[in-house]
Amino acid sequence: MLQKDSGIVLDVRTPGEYKSGHVAQSVSIDIMQADFEDKIRGLDKEKTYYIYCRSGNRSSKASSIMTNLGFTKVYNVKDGIENILKSGVSVSKD
Protein backbone atom coordinates (compact mmCIF):
# COMPACT_ATOMS: atom_id res chain seq x y z
CA MET A 1 0.00 0.00 0.00
CA LEU A 2 2.37 2.74 1.20
CA GLN A 3 5.92 2.06 0.15
CA LYS A 4 9.00 4.19 0.67
CA ASP A 5 9.93 6.40 -2.31
CA SER A 6 6.74 5.49 -4.15
CA GLY A 7 5.15 8.91 -3.77
CA ILE A 8 4.10 11.60 -1.34
CA VAL A 9 1.81 10.68 1.53
CA LEU A 10 -0.75 13.37 2.39
CA ASP A 11 -2.56 13.37 5.72
CA VAL A 12 -5.72 15.46 5.36
CA ARG A 13 -6.83 15.19 9.00
CA THR A 14 -6.79 18.02 11.53
CA PRO A 15 -3.49 19.10 13.13
CA GLY A 16 -4.57 17.47 16.39
CA GLU A 17 -5.26 14.16 14.68
CA TYR A 18 -1.92 14.40 12.86
CA LYS A 19 -0.03 14.96 16.14
CA SER A 20 -1.73 11.95 17.73
CA GLY A 21 -0.13 9.66 15.15
CA HIS A 22 0.69 9.85 11.44
CA VAL A 23 2.58 8.00 8.73
CA ALA A 24 6.27 8.86 9.04
CA GLN A 25 7.30 11.65 6.63
CA SER A 26 3.71 12.36 5.62
CA VAL A 27 2.66 15.91 4.76
CA SER A 28 -0.21 17.42 6.74
CA ILE A 29 -2.75 19.48 4.80
CA ASP A 30 -6.06 19.79 6.68
CA ILE A 31 -8.95 19.44 4.24
CA MET A 32 -11.23 21.37 6.63
CA GLN A 33 -9.18 24.57 6.29
CA ALA A 34 -10.32 27.29 3.88
CA ASP A 35 -6.92 27.36 2.16
CA PHE A 36 -6.85 23.61 1.41
CA GLU A 37 -7.22 24.03 -2.36
CA ASP A 38 -4.60 26.80 -2.44
CA LYS A 39 -2.12 24.50 -0.70
CA ILE A 40 -2.95 21.65 -3.08
CA ARG A 41 -2.43 23.92 -6.10
CA GLY A 42 1.13 24.48 -4.87
CA LEU A 43 1.98 20.78 -5.17
CA ASP A 44 3.71 19.16 -8.15
CA LYS A 45 1.05 17.61 -10.41
CA GLU A 46 3.59 15.17 -11.86
CA LYS A 47 4.16 13.36 -8.55
CA THR A 48 2.20 10.47 -7.08
CA TYR A 49 0.09 11.13 -3.98
CA TYR A 50 -1.35 8.72 -1.42
CA ILE A 51 -4.02 10.45 0.65
CA TYR A 52 -5.41 9.32 3.98
CA CYS A 53 -7.55 10.55 6.85
CA ARG A 54 -9.08 8.67 9.79
CA SER A 55 -11.53 6.43 7.96
CA GLY A 56 -11.35 7.31 4.26
CA ASN A 57 -14.14 9.87 3.87
CA ARG A 58 -12.11 13.09 3.93
CA SER A 59 -9.33 11.53 1.88
CA SER A 60 -11.87 10.48 -0.75
CA LYS A 61 -13.06 14.08 -0.98
CA ALA A 62 -9.46 15.34 -1.14
CA SER A 63 -8.68 12.85 -3.92
CA SER A 64 -11.64 14.15 -5.94
CA ILE A 65 -10.54 17.75 -5.43
CA MET A 66 -7.01 16.92 -6.57
CA THR A 67 -8.28 15.07 -9.64
CA ASN A 68 -10.47 18.06 -10.53
CA LEU A 69 -7.39 20.30 -10.21
CA GLY A 70 -5.52 18.21 -12.78
CA PHE A 71 -3.58 15.72 -10.65
CA THR A 72 -3.50 12.31 -12.32
CA LYS A 73 -1.60 10.10 -9.86
CA VAL A 74 -3.82 10.36 -6.79
CA TYR A 75 -4.71 7.38 -4.62
CA ASN A 76 -7.13 7.35 -1.71
CA VAL A 77 -6.03 5.04 1.10
CA LYS A 78 -9.23 3.11 1.77
CA ASP A 79 -10.26 3.03 5.43
CA GLY A 80 -7.61 5.63 6.34
CA ILE A 81 -5.21 5.49 9.26
CA GLU A 82 -7.25 2.67 10.77
CA ASN A 83 -6.30 0.46 7.80
CA ILE A 84 -2.72 1.74 7.80
CA LEU A 85 -2.27 0.73 11.44
CA LYS A 86 -3.59 -2.77 10.68
CA SER A 87 -1.11 -3.14 7.80
CA GLY A 88 1.92 -2.53 10.03
CA VAL A 89 3.15 0.74 8.50
CA SER A 90 5.13 2.71 11.09
CA VAL A 91 3.32 5.65 12.64
CA SER A 92 5.07 8.67 14.17
CA LYS A 93 3.96 11.08 16.87
CA ASP A 94 5.36 14.62 16.96
pLDDT digits (tens, 9 = 90+) for 44-54: 999 999 999 99
pLDDT band for position 94 (cuts 50, 70, 90) = confident
In-domain check, residue 28: yes
In-domain check, residue 62: yes
pLDDT at 93: 87
In-domain check, residue 3: no
Instruction: Determine how many CB atoms are found less than 10 A away from the CB of residue 8.
Output: 15
In-domain check, residue 2: no
Range of the domain at 63: 8-92
Of 24-33, 50-59, 71-80, 82-91, the range with the lowest mean pLDDT is: 82-91
The total number of structural domains that make up the chain: 1
In-domain check, residue 57: yes
d(CA 91, CA 23): 5
In-domain check, residue 88: yes
In-domain check, residue 70: yes
Helix then strand then coil, in percent of the chain rounded to 5, is 35, 20, 50
Of 21, 61, 54, the closest CA to residue 40 belongs to 61
What are the pLDDT digits (tens) for 59-77?
999 999 999 999 999 999 9
Q: Tell me: pLDDT of 1 over 90.
A: no
Residue 76's CATH number: 3.40.250.10
CB of 58 closer than 8 Å to CB of 31? yes
